[in-house]
Structure 1
């Protein structure tokens, strides 16, 4: 058990530098990033216990906002509390934010990114291979042989594939089901953490609403809503963004929005950082900063406010059962998201081969770095895509 007074096996600087590196080099979206954190921090370095990791994954899945960023913030909180959570959150998001702002500048300056489709064609297929391996590893470690957890996992996987979204109440229901099955309660006071977690959204929206410039105010409020009300992975935010950015506000056209999603996929770090690119296209650097702050502030608050309650009560049998249920649901939804994404990225024989080769390489060479695969896939995309689409 990691009590607050336990002496961690690492310094805050080491943890922050780890997340700078993950934010700069971690490809594959929330599934792969969550898998990296487990592999590196729980298994290889043993800085974080399996129990703390599971708590973080469950909290990240229960709270709205991007999953990978919330998990990172929680892991920063484990030993170094609010300072750790804050520095880790910034370290994780900043590298990819700077990259998408630079790409946004290039996009505006050079009138679109014609090469982006070629790169995305290759990278998108390789990314499916990367996240498929991560989903497989998460499944084997989190679900085990428990039949109830497998039933939850398969249900959530199917729901995600069918609806192409993540149904928040099913995560809660899964946790409650396993809790009632394994540790029937004598008391019913489990609602408090959720009540506390529900506080910051209006506050964050009100804060962002005080910005003077009408467009920046509009951007801030819209992206705060995106961060406050979209559950699960950064992938789940894409339909919500499309509805606001293209359909409601007409800030971007269809092609610009597709390019924005491509940028998110070919840059490392959290997928949801596409908000920085969108913000840049709409209102330059101030727009990028406001969009990113609006999206990540609610998820930061939703993580650090319930965290003390998770830490204090997280070892109770009822909470452990609840966390197991939510984790099984989360991993099921993540596996479903792999299938949803594969439908969009695996479009012909070359992309099928790219995805299969990526899986084979990662299974055969366990220490093969993902950025090397992504770079190779990008090069292949630049070669193959023009031949097939001319």
Structure 2
């Protein structure tokens, strides 16, 4: 392991900052990590980043949170992974707690939809740019990787969900094409992750236990983007347990989108509405625990065997599939969010600003978009 050119404190402060001002959802967040830690500060190598992104896509749980945990693990092992993950998630968790308190006291947040109108359109522009940069950097001129990315983008757009077995198949195809030797046991273990969790718990009537088990399953079964957790949460929170009504659930999703950090932090808001602060803490802990374990447990194998040609080819294939799935998710979100001329204009202007002015910070765009949304909706 190479000696890091940064301290654990510096890394923790970085993830605290990213968790505080990192808007745009999982696609944008993994893009920020690449820009900041690989390109600008050079704390993390391109190879380590790609391994982390591949593992985050393969294992269940929110992608951006898993990548932050893995990048913390690269040089500072379990303590680094733990502090990076906590620093990344904690700011947005505290924000959704505050919003949850205001929501309950006010009986709803009518202004939220107006703010979300502006922010949602700007977020599409931000994640589109992140997806473009990620594709250009990771796929290069490799026709096979571009083909895989295109197929995954199309299937994700059509089905509106990420298909895990296609992502795994992409890794196998590139491995067979570029380096046919036997696949390492480390990767075989990854295939077992989804299967190992196909078990249900004994039914418990205690509400906090119900919350804990439901959100643990949410964290354990949902792959890739934090946005993918929304349909799973809807089925349990609204339909099965009837903890929230339709409007409350939509407001919870909006809260996740207007706060920085991982989108999956909406679980904290939902937990607060269901059972106050204990409910929020249990929901967040249960959701992020699987993603933490599924990152640090296979991480040593990724580090040990990552330079093997077969493993490297497999990782390249999975990374290409991940980028394709992210691109498809951007298109799905754009279809739902950009419903009129004004929202389209906000998204396009955001893209042009980020392309033209490299130093413009995303939070500034988010604030301006939020104010525009309030102004437009009130007029």
Residues 1-390 of structure 1: matches in 2 within 5 Å?
3=1, 6-186=2-182, 189=185, 191-194=187-190, 197=193, 201=197, 214-387=206-379
What's the secondary structure of 2:14's corresponding residue? helix
Shift of 1:189: 3.8
What is the distance in 2 between the residues matched to 1:12 and 1:232? Answer: 27
What's the secondary structure of 1:343's corresponding residue? helix
What is the distance in 2 between the residues matched to 1:332 and 1:195? Answer: 20
What is the distance in 2 between the residues matched to 1:21 and 1:201? Answer: 33
Give the length in aligned residue pairs: 379
Contact 1:193 1:309 in 2 (8 A): no
Distance 1:187 1:162, change over 3 A: closer
Contact 1:201 1:298 in 2 (8 A): no
Distance 1:363 1:188, change over 3 A: closer
What is the distance in 1 between the residues matched to 2:354 and 2:273? Answer: 36
With normalisation by structure 2, the TM-score equals 0.97
Contact 1:196 1:305 in 2 (8 A): no
Ranges in structure 2 where 5+ consecutive residues have no aligned partner: none
> Which contiguous aligned blocks of 4+ residues in structure 1 show a shift greater than 6 angstroms?
none
What is the distance in 1 between the residues matched to 2:191 and 2:259? Answer: 35
Shift of 1:138: 0.5
What is the distance in 1 between the residues matched to 2:162 and 2:244? Answer: 25
Contact 1:73 1:300 in 2 (8 A): yes
C-alpha deviations, 1:101-140, integer Å up to 9, x for none? 1000000001100000000000000000000000000011
Contact 2:194 2:221 in 1 (8 A): no
Contact 2:15 2:84 in 1 (8 A): yes
Contact 1:226 1:237 in 2 (8 A): yes
What is the distance in 2 between the residues matched to 1:328 and 1:198? Answer: 21
What's the secondary structure of 1:367's corresponding residue? coil
Distance 1:347 1:187, change over 3 A: closer
Shift of 1:83: 0.5
Shift of 1:386: 2.7
Ranges in structure 1 where 5+ consecutive residues have no aligned partner: none
Q: CA RMSD in A?
A: 1.7
What's the secondary structure of 1:7's corresponding residue? coil
With normalisation by structure 1, the TM-score equals 0.94
Shift of 1:142: 1.0
